[in-house]
Structure 1
Amino acid sequence: MLKYVFAYLGAGITFAAIDAVWLTTMANRLYRPVIGSIMADKPDMKAAVAFYLISIAATVFFAVAPALKEGNWTRALINGAFLGFACYATYDLTNQATLNVWSTRLTLIDLAWGTVLTATCAVAGYFAASWAEGKWG
């Protein structure tokens, strides 16, 4: 059980740190020019926290846990990348299908971002859990 706590914390801290940099540098440069006035001036932190908690749990369940079972960090990378792609595709393609202002360019950039971010967090979670088990470091 402790390994999953460390997996969650490792993936979560990594996700929060990297995504904070992304959002603070890209929100006004990438998203605001496309979605303009429908973008909130400041995020709804309750919704943001809920997203992070759910996303990290899914990353641990679908990417980190299978990798720990195999003893192979590349499984975390591959599963994390696919999970990130699928989750961000749900968001981006739904927005593209329903919002006049959403662009294909924004979809492609955000899909790449979600894929890389989730894969990175899954690997971080894997190594945090491995460290907690005494199998790394």
Structure 2
Amino acid sequence: MKRAIVLYFTTLIVMLPLDFLFLGVIAKNFFQSQVGPLLGDVRIVPAAIFYLGYPIGIVIFASYAAGQNWQHALLYGALFGIFCYATFDLTALALLKGWTWPVTVVDIIWGAFVTGASATLGLLLANLVLRPD
């Protein structure tokens, strides 16, 4: 149980700044130019539910599945990210008139990267924290 809690928090502290940097700085203008009319003010409660819940999925489907192997955490994390982000983006592309293919592709690639990186770095950090003295 202790390992799961440490994995959760180390994954969370990796994922949050990466995603905020990407969405708030790096890709902000891209998303605004592509789907700006669909974007509104951030709704805090759904955002918080996502950011607190998604790392649970990363831990269950990537970190635990990988055991101690960071390469497996990277692979399983990237795959989990592809499936999760593709579910959202392809559904949005199918249903939302203003959603674009470029946003779909960029966001799925980002999902693979941020989830793989979060699973891997979260695992490595957890191993450091839990290392026996």
Q: Same fold by TM-score, threshold 0.5 exceeded?
A: yes
> Equivalent residues in 2 for 1:43-58 (5 A)?
43-58=42-57
TM-score when normalising by structure 1:
0.90
Shift of 1:17: 0.7
CA distance in 1, matches of 2:42, 2:29: 16
**Counterpart-to-counterpart distance in 2, 1:51 and 1:131:** 26
Which residue of 104, 107, 117 maps to 1:107? 104
Task: Label 1:100 to 1:81 Cα distance change in 2 as closer, same or farther (>3 A).
Answer: same
> Structure 1 unaligned runs (5+)?
none
Size of the aligned set, in residue pairs, is 133
Task: Name 1:89's counterpart in structure 2.
Answer: 86
- 8 Å CA contact 1:3–1:132 kept in 2: the answer is no
Q: Residue in 2 aligned with 1:10? A: 10
- Residue 125 to residue 92, structure 1, CA distance change in 2 (3 Å): same
* 1:3 partner letter: R
Task: Indicate the larger mover: 109-118 or 18-27.
Answer: 18-27
Residue 26 (structure 1) shift: 4.3
1:48 is displaced (CA, Å) by 0.6
Does residue 120 in structure 1 map to residue 121 in structure 2? no
- Distance (whole Å) between structure 1 residues aligned to residue 75 and residue 93 of structure 2: 26
After TM superposition, the runs of 4+ consecutive aligned structure 1 residues lying more than 4 A away are none
Q: Distance in 2 between matches of 1:81 and 1:27?
A: 19
Q: Percent identity?
A: 30
- Once the two structures are TM-superposed, the CA of residue 54 in structure 1 deviates from its matched residue by 1.5
Alignment of 1:22-41 (within 5 A): 22-26=22-26, 28-40=28-40
* Cα deviation digits, residues 10-60 of structure 1 (max 9, x gap): 1101110111111111454122222222211x2111111100111100000
| RMSD (CA atoms) | 1.6
- Rounded to whole Å, the distance in 2 between the matches of 1:100 and 1:80 is 30
Provide the rounded CA distance (Å) in 1 between the counterparts of 2:17 and 2:118.
10
- Structure 2 portions without partners, runs of 5+: none
